[in-house]
């Protein structure tokens, strides 16, 4: 009796340029504002405008309606094994760990304070959103509401979030109360591998599943999600290649199992950077609360991939006393003091 051997295959990702300002090398991520630029969508015409057989013309359509038509045509005309998705990749709002790192300085934070749960005044273990972080998420909620009303923007058909508290809170504040289609309500799925770069920093140690479920009762969990954090280790640091391997794994899971075209992912700065790299997008750092959409072409390719293998995690580097904070500018002192006073 013969045994059929499955042919190996993998997903090849390509970030499709030319649709968003964040695709362009000339766009400065440090000064880019997605809320004043229509999510960065470039105001342009598309080939689908003249080729489409859909009823109606594009002259009276918004830019997002024209873009949605373009994406629809790309999928209709794509070869077998090829699909296009639009990922709205968002970073959580400001967390208490962000404030603490700004206050102490990155060298002292990395080797000393980040291993603590807090300083007696604030807690940054599995960091919650600061009042400023809450305001950032609510501002994005208002922006989505405006885009839905004025642009008829295609809203996410599926929502995913990191399990860390700051992302769960950001996702809830961002999408709750929006005018979403009844068939596509805001019921996010918590995915373990969407979490931040993993190190001994306590801000990246997640809460138990039961805690997340109690605080976000409408959230769902991916199959196999464990009660306790299975990945965080106080003495080890995830290598960048291991993180990229993790990013590829979670993206493969989403692209292979979710037929949605428009997807929201609420994650972290480091994890967003890793995913953008895996997707072939140029480096683009997200500020707290920021969201960027990207158009992704995914092709299932026969054969074995030649991706770099994730390197083993390394030992975390700590110090018994914090190094001196580099002399800050007057503006930085005022900023840090103001943030700490706001928290107190």
According to the model, what pLDDT value does residue 56 have? 52
Phi/psi of residue 238, nearest 5 degrees: -65, 130
Q: Is residue 173 within 8 Å of 137, Cβ to Cβ?
A: yes
Going residue by residue through the chain (344 aa), what tens digit of pLDDT does each one get? 556 667 888 999 999 999 999 999 999 999 999 999 999 999 999 986 655 555 455 678 999 999 999 999 999 999 999 999 999 999 999 999 999 999 999 999 999 999 999 999 999 999 999 999 999 999 999 999 999 999 999 999 999 999 999 999 999 999 999 999 999 999 999 999 999 999 999 999 999 999 999 999 999 999 999 999 999 999 999 999 999 999 999 999 999 999 999 999 999 999 999 999 999 999 999 999 999 999 999 999 998 888 878 899 999 999 999 888 765 554 344 445 545 544 44
Query: pTM for this structure?
Result: 0.92
Distance CA(125)–CA(92), nearest Å, equals 15
Q: Is 196 a catalytic residue?
A: yes
Angle separating helix axes 330-343 and 96-104, nearest 10 degrees: 140
3-class secondary-structure state, position 118? strand
Catalytic residue among 101, 147, 196, 238: 196
Q: Is residue 90 within 8 Å of 288, Cβ to Cβ?
A: no
Phi/psi of residue 147, nearest 5 degrees: -65, -40
According to the model, what pLDDT value does residue 51 have? 52
Q: Is 97 a catalytic residue?
A: no
Closest alpha carbon to 232 in 262, 211, 207:
207
According to the model, what pLDDT value does residue 336 have? 52
Burial 220-234 (b: 16+ CB within 10 A, else e): ebbeebeeebebbee
Closest alpha carbon to 96 in 122, 115, 119, 114:
122
Token pair listed for 333: 């002192």
Token pair listed for 27: 């766009």
Q: Is residue 319 within 8 Å of 114, Cβ to Cβ?
A: no
Catalytic residue among 92, 97, 201, 268: 92
């Amino acid at each position: 009796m013969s045994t059929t051997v499955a042919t190996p295959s993998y997903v090849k990702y390509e970030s499709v340029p030319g649709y968003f300002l964040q695709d362009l090398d000339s766009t400065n991520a440090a000064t880019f504002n997605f809320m004043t630029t229509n999510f960065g969508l470039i105001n342009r015409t598309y080939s689908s405008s003249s080729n489409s057989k859909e009823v109606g013309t594009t002259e009276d359509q918004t830019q997002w309606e024209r873009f949605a038509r373009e994406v629809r045509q790309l999928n209709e005309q794509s070869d077998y094994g090829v699909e296009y998705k639009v990922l709205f990749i968002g970073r959580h709002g400001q967390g208490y760990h962000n404030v603490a790192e700004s206050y102490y300085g990155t060298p002292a934070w990395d080797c000393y304070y980040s291993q603590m749960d807090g300083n007696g005044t604030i807690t940054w273990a599995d960091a919650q959103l600061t009042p400023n972080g809450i305001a950032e998420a609510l501002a994005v909620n208002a922006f989505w509401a405006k885009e839905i009303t004025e642009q008829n923007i295609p809203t996410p058909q599926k929502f995913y979030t990191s399990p860390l508290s700051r992302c769960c809170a950001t996702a809830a504040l961002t999408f709750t109360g929006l005018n979403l289609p009844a068939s596509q309500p805001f019921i996010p799925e918590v995915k373990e591998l969407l979490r931040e770069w993993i190190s001994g920093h306590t801000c990246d140690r997640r809460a138990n599943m039961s805690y997340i479920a109690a605080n976000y009762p409408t959230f769902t969990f991916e199959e196999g999600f464990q009660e306790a954090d299975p990945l965080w280790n106080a003495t080890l640091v995830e290598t960048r290649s291991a993180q990229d391997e993790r990013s590829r794994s979670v993206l493969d899971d989403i692209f292979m199992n979710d037929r949605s075209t428009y997807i929201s992912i609420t994650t972290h700065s480091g994890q967003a950077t890793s995913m953008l790299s895996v997707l072939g997008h140029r480096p683009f750092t997200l500020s707290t609360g920021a969201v960027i959409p990207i158009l992704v072409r995914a092709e299932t390719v026969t054969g074995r991939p030649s991706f770099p293998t994730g390197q083993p995690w390394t030992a975390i580097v700590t110090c018994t006393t914090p190094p001196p904070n580099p002399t800050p500018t007057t503006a930085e002192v005022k900023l840090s003091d103001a943030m700490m006073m706001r928290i107190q």
